[in-house]
Structure 1
Amino acid sequence: MAAQQVLTHIGGYAYKVDDLSKLTRFLCLGAEGGTYYVTELQLKKENAQCISRLIEAGRGNEVVQTLVDFSVSGRTAKQNGLMFAMAMCARQSVDPDTQRMCYENLHLVCRIPTHLFTFIGHCEALSEGTGWGRAHRRAIANWYTRFGETPGSAKRLAMLVTKYKNRNGWSHLDVLRLAHPKPDKDNGLAGIFKYIVKGFDEATELLQESNANLLAYFQAVEDLKAQRDPQNVNVTGLAEIIRQHRLVREHVNTALLQFPEIWEALLEEMPMTAMIRNLGKMSAIGMLAAGSKYEEMIVEKFKNKEVLKKARIHPFNVLVALNTYSKGAGDLGSLTWTPNVAILEALDDAFYATFKFVEPTNKRYLLALDVSGSMWWGTVNGCRSVQPGYAAAALSLVTAATEEHCDFIGFSGELVPLAINPEMTVSEVEAVVRSVPMGGTDCSLPMVYAMEHNKLYDVFVVYTDCETSGIKYTPADKLREYRQHSGIADAKLIVIGMTSNGFSIADPDDPNMLDMPGFDSNGPQVMKDFIGGSITEGRAVHPSRDDQMDVETN
């Protein structure tokens, strides 16, 4: 028995979920238990009692170091849990060393204003009515003044404060009035703060004296956000300003987004995730007409393997974007468009092309698919353009294409093998799944199947819509029984309820069980991290992503 294993009530052994493991779960999943929720939970200190216990045990610095490590290496699919945990260390800690270390490392966790505003909001909620103490004010002020410590970093701050002007009920003006940062006039920060508090006209004189480059940058931002008569716009000149100052969509007045030339300038530096998100808008203004240079520009990006590799887009998220774009209308708002056929084909090709960029886990898989008719009704909670059955087929195909050892079964009257191979298309996988007679979904049966057939699997994955029926055994007990039977002590079970808002199959005290009610663009990374051990052991490293993959629909 490994040192971290404990005796279970059925006589076997399982890995213990200690408070540091619960902290890792909280950061990766948003909850201490074994459930990843698509929708953001309203976080309260009761959601992260492990943090309080660790601090009380004198391990507060270990908590902060964990937060920094996870932030710097990008191990969390979502950032809210990180900011909440930092707020607990800053405002709930009774240990001054923990608070000091938290504030000293604030800039490493809050890398952009969105993070900072989220952190401040959590601090306010955790210590309502207590005001801003000296340490809190100094730490927030230092977040801004750090940008004056190295040459050129003031320009970075200028970009951040103009791109992320306000989030979560906070603005830079609110924060500066409370934090009172004291800038050095010579490094440009004084001019930036004047711009935030007093506006461009008031900041002009100061910037003329101290930093002409910043003045030119703010002038460019003002030019792009100014209200204009669409009939009297120098579109060519504004597009050149975007290129010269490397401005982004958030800098541009919405009224200017009706002009293809503006989008062309933005596309030159736009990340692929953002480009995919804006396909609907660009089509809606008639920019992506068949045979146009803009169509060619976007198709070429989707065909460029190096661009796809650099973007680190999971195939499933490309497929979601393809489905959304193909519908010609968004789920929210009133935006409609005519999909461009060449772009649809390029997106479809990109889906299959990105298979080779998925890093294999080199684990042995058994994927069990719900084949009931309800898998073809409604849409996935978190990906409203995709049906549950189609999502399960696509994710199964990605596994078949990237993992050497994987088997597939369907929940019919009994478990039946599914002939899925990496040479198939999603439609062909869908046809295989639909050909199987329907049966109930019992999440314990994959482990029973593996034991009856003496199969060795590291990971069991169940794809269903919402409900499970006819459960004979507890999945947690059958998983533990399988571990004893096979000798694979850390065999894992993931249950994905595509249309569910919440269910409870995973044993919260078992670090190798995961419930996923719904499935969103972060889902593939959460699964990979869980399978690779980073959610319980903090091992895996992947780049953080602030962009979501949905096509913009409002």
Structure 2
Amino acid sequence: MDFHSNSVVFHPDTVPQSAPISADQVRNNAGGFGWKVDDITRLKRFLCLGSEGGTYYTSQKALTQQNVGCIVNLISEGKGVDVVKTIKQFSLEGRTAKQTSILRALAVCCRSTDLTTKQEAYKALGDICRIPTFLFEFIERCESQGKTTGWGRAHRNAISAWYNRFSDDPVKLAMHVTKYRQRKDWSHRDVLRLSHTKPANEAIGVVLRYAVKGLADAKQMYDKPELESPAIKKVLQFLAVVEEAKSCKEENKMVELIRQHGLVREHIPTSLLSSTTIWKELLQKMPMTAMIRNLGKMTSIGVLTAGCSEEDLVVQKLTDRDSLKQARIHPFNVLVALKTYSAGCGEKGKLTWTPTKRIVKALDDAFYMSFKFALPTKKRYLLAVDVSGSMGCPVMGTPSVSCRSAAAAMMMVTKRTEEPDKSTVVAFCHKLTPLNIKHSDDLDTVTGKISDMNFGGTDCALPMVWAKQKKKMFDVFVVYTDSETWFGNIHPSEALRQYRKWSGLWDARLIVCGMASNEFTIADPDDPGMMDVVGFDSAAPEAMRSFVMGEI
């Protein structure tokens, strides 16, 4: 295929990446040319990777605006319902590490002038905003989305429905209200007053009254003989225990309250948060996310020591695939926890600890188990990690994990899924370096090898060029990159076509694992043997397997 530009005929095999090989290519932020991903793919990148911290070439603000514009475009094309379904699916399946992009995208849909999109978005509110933290952030996003605060009927009804959805379990609402009291300058009192929420029953009324006026006022209104009911009694009892805990100074008494009433860390007064005894009790029923977040704290005060029963419990929880799935633990959050815990200190504050080897190993195992399980394909893979300068930016605004390290971690998911002798690993920038990565290597070792490499420009064609030069046979090329390629003398898509011709492997495939929420890809959308997946989508390994096996 020839590409005509300014009356000059270019052949794809002679066109450098600094020039287009087809009329539908666009210039990327680095000055090279590639294709734009479709808006649905870009939406998925945004939901998974967000725009926190921006990229090497684009500021956070600009990247966010571009992604919001993508959502607006989809809605204007009549695809608003599909957008909401995608947002809800990614949230419920735990395919995103952070909820910020999910909630921003939901707010865009709720503020849309398209009535159908707006209705579907508000219907999904309860499923997506599972805890008050998410609800408060969603409200904040809605406030900043339009020119007005927008507390119209649809908004008020949806917020009211969020509280009343606990009508059959008011104690659960009481737990939510007391555990998550405020976020982003929003409190339950603010939200309830603005939404004019009317309780679905008296037990819900107790919780709402408590949130707005306090326990004494709630008792005065609902602790009456004519309103006597088991549900009201349970709620009032729980709220009374929460208030008692606020002023508790005795370890044994607090342990008793935790054991009998299921109190959590947020209910414990600061003066008791250094108690080993209390943390040991909290650990017994601590939710998975909270446990992972507090591993450093518990190790620093001696709760988690080598060989103790508490360490056994943590290891057992971290290596239980079903528990990880049920808790919607995202691989990226496990990776951050692994790097932080292994380092023995947090990114902020002065807390330090000596990590235990078993917990480090358990976190390493949990990373792989937190992805959707995928069977090996038994194909031959070249796994190519982009280590160019632009890949040095933090992923999702997390300083401890660079895009480069995240790409290496994603690569190891495929490396461990496939048979040990079926994959070769290389790193590339303006040059390519084969890496001695073993199937059994832990993440810390792998990311360490990648981080120590010299960085330069980006040539995403190198994996295919190298394979042809070295006469190596691969069925699948997987490139982990931000697609900001510009350096090479041949486009990646053309390099793959030349490799197919040379090798006779006409079905050789290219998977581009996008590690940034930009709009670029090196995969030719017109070539059925090339595919884009989103880095750190927990469903990515299964999607890749289906593509490699020809199922999609």
Fold-level similarity (TM above 0.5):
yes
Task: Please list the CA deviations of residues 305-329 of structure 1 after superposition, one character each: whole Å capped at 9, or x if unmatched.
Answer: 8636522568886675455334433
Which residue of structure 2 aligns with residue 421 of structure 1?
A: 438
Task: Please list the CA deviations of residues 204-232 of structure 1 after superposition, one character each: whole Å capped at 9, or x if unmatched.
Answer: 233433401001111122122x245xxxx
Letter in 2 for 1:506: T
Does the Cα contact within 8 Å between 2:345 and 2:352 map onto a contact in 1? Answer: yes
Pair 1:171 & 2:192 matched: no
Distance in structure 1 (CA, Å) of the matches to 2:80 and 2:95: 20
State the percentage of identical aligned residues.
39
Task: Please list the CA deviations of residues 361-415 of structure 1 after superposition, one character each: whole Å capped at 9, or x if unmatched.
Answer: 645531235799x99x999896655799987776655543322342223559975
Secondary structure (helix, strand or coil) at the match of 2:263 reads coil
Secondary structure (helix, strand or coil) at the match of 1:492 reads strand
Secondary structure (helix, strand or coil) at the match of 1:460 reads strand
Distance in structure 2 (CA, Å) of the matches to 1:320 and 1:115: 21
Which residue of structure 1 aligns with residue 250 of structure 2?
A: 234
Which residue of structure 2 aligns with residue 119 of structure 1?
A: 138
Structure 1 residues 110-149: aligned runs within 5 Å = 110-129=129-148, 131-148=150-167
Structure 1 residues 32-47: aligned runs within 5 Å = 46-47=66-67
Which residue of structure 1 aligns with residue 94 of structure 2?
A: 74
1:46 Cα offset (Å): 4.8
Does the Cα contact within 8 Å between 1:318 and 1:350 map onto a contact in 2? Answer: yes
Letter in 2 for 1:328: G
Secondary structure (helix, strand or coil) at the match of 1:262 reads helix
- Structure 1 63/489 Cα, relative in aligned 2: closer, same or farther at 3 Å? farther
* Residue number among 460, 481, 486 corresponding to 2:478 in the alignment: 460
Secondary structure (helix, strand or coil) at the match of 2:130 reads coil
* Residue number among 192, 198, 204 corresponding to 1:189 in the alignment: 204
Of stretches 120-129 and 394-403 in structure 1, the one that deviates more from structure 2 is 394-403
Task: Please list the CA deviations of residues 261-315 of structure 1 after superposition, one character each: whole Å capped at 9, or x if unmatched.
Answer: 2111210111344323212222333444667xxx332234315686365225688
Which residue of structure 1 aligns with residue 174 of structure 2?
A: 158
* Residue number among 222, 237, 252 corresponding to 1:216 in the alignment: 237
Letter in 2 for 1:301: V
Does the Cα contact within 8 Å between 2:461 and 2:491 map onto a contact in 1? Answer: yes
Distance in structure 2 (CA, Å) of the matches to 1:203 and 1:303: 42
Does the Cα contact within 8 Å between 1:19 and 1:54 map onto a contact in 2? Answer: yes
Q: How many residues align?
A: 499
Of stretches 430-439 and 299-308 in structure 1, the one that deviates more from structure 2 is 430-439
- Structure 1 431/92 Cα, relative in aligned 2: closer, same or farther at 3 Å? closer
Secondary structure (helix, strand or coil) at the match of 1:335 reads coil
Does the Cα contact within 8 Å between 2:479 and 2:510 map onto a contact in 1? Answer: no
Does the Cα contact within 8 Å between 2:264 and 2:282 map onto a contact in 1? Answer: yes
Letter in 1 for 2:91: S
Distance in structure 1 (CA, Å) of the matches to 2:430 and 2:73: 48
Distance in structure 1 (CA, Å) of the matches to 2:157 and 2:56: 35
TM-score w.r.t. the length of structure 1 is: 0.73
Which residue of structure 2 aligns with residue 506 of structure 1?
A: 521
Distance in structure 2 (CA, Å) of the matches to 1:386 and 1:83: 23
Does the Cα contact within 8 Å between 1:443 and 1:495 map onto a contact in 2? Answer: no
1:52 Cα offset (Å): 2.7
1:202 Cα offset (Å): 1.1
Letter in 1 for 2:374: P
Letter in 1 for 2:364: F
Which residue of structure 2 aligns with residue 548 of structure 1?
A: none
For structure 1, the residue ranges without an aligned partner over 5 or more in a row are: 1-6, 517-522, 541-554
Task: Please list the CA deviations of residues 66-114 of structure 1 after superposition, one character each: whole Å capped at 9, or x if unmatched.
Answer: 3333333334333223322222222232x33332333233212222222
Which residue of structure 1 aligns with residue 374 of structure 2?
A: 360
Structure 1 residues 507-526: aligned runs within 5 Å = 507=522, 512-513=531-532, 523=536, 525=538
- Structure 1 142/37 Cα, relative in aligned 2: closer, same or farther at 3 Å? farther
Letter in 1 for 2:438: N
Distance in structure 2 (CA, Å) of the matches to 1:435 and 1:133: 54
Letter in 2 for 1:360: A
Secondary structure (helix, strand or coil) at the match of 1:132 reads coil
Task: Please list the CA deviations of residues 434-484 of structure 1 after superposition, one character each: whole Å capped at 9, or x if unmatched.
Answer: 9999998643200223344363443423589x9989643344654576678
- Structure 1 350/195 Cα, relative in aligned 2: closer, same or farther at 3 Å? closer
Distance in structure 1 (CA, Å) of the matches to 2:65 and 2:274: 45
Structure 1 residues 284-433: aligned runs within 5 Å = 284-288=300-304, 295-302=308-315, 307=320, 310-311=323-324, 321-337=337-353, 339=354, 343-348=356-361, 351-352=364-365, 359-360=373-374, 362=376, 364=379, 365-368=381-384, 397-404=412-419, 405-410=422-427, 415=432, 417-424=434-441
Task: Please list the CA deviations of residues 28-61 of structure 1 after superposition, one character each: whole Å capped at 9, or x if unmatched.
Answer: 3437xx9899997688665333433333344433
For structure 2, the residue ranges without an aligned partner over 5 or more in a row are: 1-11, 13-19, 26-33
- Structure 1 44/314 Cα, relative in aligned 2: closer, same or farther at 3 Å? closer
TM-score w.r.t. the length of structure 2 is: 0.73
Distance in structure 1 (CA, Å) of the matches to 2:60 and 2:408: 26
Does the Cα contact within 8 Å between 2:342 and 2:360 map onto a contact in 1? Answer: no
* Residue number among 209, 213, 218 corresponding to 1:198 in the alignment: 213
- Structure 1 73/384 Cα, relative in aligned 2: closer, same or farther at 3 Å? closer
Letter in 2 for 1:296: S
* Residue number among 62, 75, 83 corresponding to 2:103 in the alignment: 83
RMSD across aligned C-alpha pairs, in angstroms? 4.8
1:429 Cα offset (Å): 6.4
